[in-house]
Amino acid sequence: MAHPSQLGFQDAASPIMEELLHFHDHTLMAVFLISTLVLYIITIMMTTKLTNTNSVDAQEIEMVWTIMPAIILIMIALPSLRILYLMDEVNDPHLTIKAIGHQWYWSYEYTNYEDLSFDSYMTPTNDLTPGQFRLLEVDNRMVVPMESPTRLLVTAEDVLHSWAVPSLGVKTDAIPGRLNQTSFIATRPGVFYGQCSEICGANHSFMPIVVEAVPLTDFENWSSSMLEA
């Protein structure tokens, strides 16, 4: 959960998000080094009036500003491609959930169970209890077992939506008539908040997402109670 005056991302709750955080820091360091080098060269040119072409051969300059950007791009592209392939892999999921976007709420169908499905609406401000977050809490949370690969099928019934939970490193577009697939593993128990990240209409900011990761025994108890209800 984000907090006031926070710098950086939320704490990672999945291996993919940990990889994204490392890649962000790696890329930020490259940007910082490039900015420092360019600022240093500009400062030298302004203070020493290094403007004549005799100081450095033009061919040498062309080699530097051609080779160095290529090396930097390779250093950024290789880990980026690795993470993209990791995000697309879905290896033997233990649970499959279908998330359907509506104007303006989410529906969840647990496809491993025959009759386990429910709607998830935002909790009105007047119904919030102490400790709950305004515009982020819902009446029915999406409960998943922790440390279990979960496959998420995302679609929409009316307009474009986007199912996004920053702590899990998941952001998938919900498109009417199409199923998009993603996966995640919650590495620790907790409640993780997200929102629709596509401008889907007047109440776009009122369709939050809440994922609750619990131990497997608690998930079995929850699913049994939901099926009985």
pLDDT band at 49, cuts 50/70/90? Answer: low
Q: Residue 22's Cα: distance from chain center in Å?
A: 14
Residues near 152 by Cβ (< 8 Å), separated by ≥ 6? 96, 97, 98, 99, 163, 170, 172, 181, 182, 183, 184
User: Which secondary structure element, helix H or strand E, spans residue 150, and what is its range?
Assistant: strand 150-156
- Which helix (H) or strand (E) covers residue 13, if one does? none
pLDDT of residue 115: 86
Q: How confident is the model at residue 193 (pLDDT cuts 50, 70, 90)?
A: very high
Q: How far is CA 98 from CA 76, 141, 161, 193, 228, in A?
A: 34, 14, 14, 18, 20
Class of domain 95-228: mainly beta
Question: What confidence category does residue 2 fall into, taking pLDDT thresholds of 50, 70 and 90?
Answer: low
Q: What pLDDT is stored for residue 10 in this prediction?
A: 85
Cα R_g (the chain), whole angstroms: 24
* Spatial contact of 147 and 186, defined as CB atoms under 8 Å apart: yes
Domain residue extents for the chain = 15-88, 95-228
Whole-prediction pTM value? Answer: 0.83
Angle between helices 58-88 and 15-48 (to 10 degrees): 170
For residue 13, give every residue at least 6 positions away whose Cβ sits within 8 Å of its Cβ, in sequence order, or none: 167, 168, 186, 187, 188, 190, 192, 213
Residue 210 pLDDT level (bands cut at 50, 70, 90):
very high
For residues 142 and 120, the answer to whether their CB atoms sit within 8 Å is yes
